[in-house]
Chain A
Amino acid sequence: MRKIGVFVCHCGTNIAATVDVKAVAEALGHEPGVVVSCEYQYMCSESGQELIKDSIKKHGLTGVVICSCSPRMHENTFRKAAASAGLNPYLVEIANIREQCSWIHKDIASATEKAIILGKAAVAKIHLNTPLTAGESPVAKKALVIGGGIAGIQTALDIAEAGFEVDIVEKKPTIGGKMAQLDKTFPTLDCAACILTPKMVECAQNEKIHIYSYSEVTEVKGFVGSFNVTIKKKARFVDETKCTGCGLCTEKCPMKKVPNEFNMGFDNRSAVYIPFAQAVPKVAVIDPANCMMLKTGKCGVCSKVCTVGAIDYKQQDTYINETYGAIVVATGYDPIDLGKYDEFAYSQSPDVITSLELERLMNAAGPDGGTLLRPSDKKHPHTIVFVQCVGSRCDDSRGKPYCSKICCMYTAKHAMLIREKYPDTDVYVFYIDVRTPGKNFDEFYRRAVEQYNVHYIKGMVGKVEPKADGKLSVQASDLISREQLHIDADLVVLAAAIEPDKTARPLATMLTTQMDTNDFFTEAHPKLRPVESATAGIFLSGACQGPKDIPETVAQASAAASKAIGLLCKNSITCNPCVAHSDELMCNGCSSCEKVCPYGAITYINKEFTMPDRTVALRRVASVNPAVCQGCGACTVACPSGAMDLNGFSNSQIMAEVDAICK
């Protein structure tokens, strides 16, 4: 029989005002095995912990039950206290009589009765607790950053700054991401390229950073401290080590009619191309879908003109295997496809564009050298209508239910820049609400309205009608003056909602980490652990976790880096001993547990068993990798034969709790 001590906490008045703590201590004192039962004002305080430690020593306790707040709050505190008094920390149980009792009840009598029942359940469980010892596993001193936009770049730079090796995997031929396409950035209107490209160059020059551009993560195995990652380096048909980025091949390539992705298709590039002037790495890439040599075997001009012999038409995809201690996801966002929003005539008129397309049209390195001309006839637009929330805050299945967060500010920026540069232009902005929280953000928006006289109209656009004369007739409602408006516009700009990059979902499956219904990665705790995923060793950086502007993205990128650095600093990590294990004699290898395991912790091994008749049989049984298992318990429920059990939360322990509650 265990010698159990029960410690009931008042939590000031948090518990004591609704639960008669003395009655709880008194009642639990009569439970089998309980040798001491007392209450105290703040059990988590220094003196409260001393009380526990003294009792363990004085009474030789072999089990401790604390009736207090949620174990998420102070389980660790009490486990440490017990350990310092020589008791195995897993012989401490918490009965949550605050969040699950005092805070949610008003009646003292029934709350007290419930608190006693919760205490009895904990006492019943602790009789079956076994001492557990946490194992250790080593940490590889290298991080992987997936995605080379501003989030990935900042995370990589910070990790490298701390002295650790870091690899960036970017699916495009260059790092830089969406920010490289932007013109000016709010609220200070500094040029995006001017602040981003030095960071890109820094990445390339930092010897701790290795950039795998034009590459994708194809497989992730292993666990925190030791992730085994396979990276596919797509064939770029140009030897990266030889190419000097001189650009001669791109000039001579005869195939020049490929829509230029970087300029949102407003101009063309050649089949062999360097995405943009400041690309990192500044190495050409051949687009196999458009290269005549790769398609028909006839051409070879780039190979002839290349002075360093870097062109290699026979290059194949290569696969690289690396081990990382930590992984940071920085896969970013994309604007949604506007196919479902044809009331704005996006697919019907070239003069209806998205805000990201406007960024290119206004950029000095864009198709028109920074002069704002409308795509259809290359004339100056004199009336421009901005439509906000296209697909954001949407209550039907066409769009996204969330606010895309960045659109109000970039629309104010666009409106202001246009009015500054072309004062003869009328600019209208239609909005549901203008949301500009953030340092110097509201001041920025007000400047657009007050100083630049941008017409902000609360209401939505119902229809954009392309007219025969090239104008766009915009029909909208003004909700404040309660009238219908008709504006003949030259250019309509749609603030398309943003969504996670399409590669995010398959990546989440590979990483066995969680996403929400919108495919944004889910953080471990929305307030207290915002940059960690629920899977140990996987951190979140930037818009892959939710819509973010650049300042926020950079802040989160550095936060994710510091969390990754914290992990990489350790030589080994302590594992949670409350993990699943399989009773091999009962396991029949049915794979039920493997299917439900969200962490990929379960594998199957063929093992020799001596059977009752002394013959040896080879049987397939489940095997849990304790370093990967997070102790969620899904497998124990799924196991049809009852072979799978969870340390610290065994089936028998849980049934004992249920029995105590139902008694």
Chain B
Amino acid sequence: MRTFTYYPGCTLRTKAKDLDRYARACAKALDISLEEPEEWQCCGGVYTTAHDEIATKLSAVRTLNSAKEKNTPLVTVCSACHNVIKQTNYDISHDAETASKVNNYMQLETPYLGETVVYHYLEMLRDVVGFDELAKKVTDPLTGKKIAAYYGCLLLRPSKALAMDDPENPHIIEDLIRAIGAEPVIYAQRNECCGGYMTMEDRSSAVKRSTAVVTSAAEMGADMIITACPLCLYNLKKNSQTELPVYYFTEVLAEALGVKEDS
């Protein structure tokens, strides 16, 4: 049994309960214990990364520090949370000025200097569990299913800080799709933006972007799209004007591991 500090984030308590629920169920099936920090706060959405200031990033630091105190790696599953937390951690470990500002605010007993290892749930599957091992635990393979992975923009970029995969030709979700017995569909829009928060201000641009993504996947013969991001899921479902089903990657994983019904 391996233990991780697990940061769900606000959306997973409201709009994206499925992402959370199946993530927990799969972890259990994979013999991984996910421990939630006691008093976690919102990561700030991606808005925090748009400003060169420190106060709004402190919530990410609190999460990082609580993982450090428990001496466990931190795992996140929402693309936006992951982006904010990983970028903040990168800034603290690569920029002495950011680190000193953060610690001046936080006044921790021991300064936080970027010690925590941050995994996205997908990275945990790849680097800790291993896709080969994962494949062995699959009970209900999704054989014959053609699944299109949708990365969106936050999961891979900025690639220097996120360091998950090649931002222009990623394969981590495709490898997962293969591990659960399905066939990945490669399409060019998989790492392009879905429109994100633009849907609030100018819905037409979110419609344009989401439609481009889903059309591209459908053209390449996909039966469904999977994603790690609640906002992407929302846009692809509500704004794409197509019928192609969109799921969280944790849901199809739960199905393959045979734990979907129990969760």
Contact = CB atoms under 8 A, between A and B. Distances in A.
Interface of A: 340-343, 345, 347-348, 463-469, 473
A4 B65 CA distance: 73
B188 A347 contact: no
Report the contact-size class of chain B (Cβ under 8 Å from the partner): 10 to 19
A469 B219 CA distance: 9
A342 B188 contact: no
A345 B169 CA distance: 8
Contact of B188 (A340, A341, A345, A469): A345
Interface string B182-193: 000010110010
Contacts of A463: 188, 192
A95 B222 CA distance: 78
Contacts of B166: 340, 342
Interface string B77-118: 000000000000000000000000000000000000000000
B220 interface: yes
B168 interface: yes
A473 B221 CA distance: 17
A463 B192 CA distance: 10
A348 B186 contact: yes
Given A465-B216, A467-B219, A468-B221, A342 B168 contact: yes
A345 B219 CA distance: 17
A294 to B, nearest CB: 34
Given A342-B166, A466-B188, 18 more contacts: A341-B168, A342-B168, A342-B169, A343-B168, A345-B188, A347-B169, A348-B169, A348-B186, A348-B188, A464-B188, A465-B189, A465-B216, A467-B188, A467-B216, A468-B219, A468-B220, A468-B221, A473-B188
* Interface residues of B, dominant DSSP: loop
B200 to A, nearest CB: 23
Contacts of B216: 465, 467
A467 B186 CA distance: 10
Contacts of A473: 188
Contacts, number: 27
Nearest to A349: B188
Contacts of B220: 468
Contacts of A465: 188-189, 216
B238 to A, nearest CB: 24
Nearest to B188: A465
Contacts of B219: 467-469
Those 3 A-B pairs whose CB atoms lie nearest each other, nearest first? A465-B188, A342-B169, A342-B168
Of B166, B188, B192, chain A has the most CB atoms within 10 Å of the CB of B188
17 contacts: A340-B168, A341-B168, A342-B166, A342-B169, A345-B188, A347-B169, A348-B169, A348-B186, A348-B188, A463-B192, A465-B188, A466-B188, A467-B188, A467-B216, A468-B219, A468-B221, A469-B219
Interface in B134-185: 166, 168-169
A465 B186 CA distance: 11
A347 B171 CA distance: 13
A661 to B, nearest CB: 38
Contacts of A340: 166, 168
A467 B220 CA distance: 7
B184 to A, nearest CB: 13
Nearest to B169: A342
A347 B166 CA distance: 12
Nearest to A464: B188
| Residue among B168, B186, B221 facing the most chain A CB atoms (10 A cut-off) | B168
Nearest to B170: A342
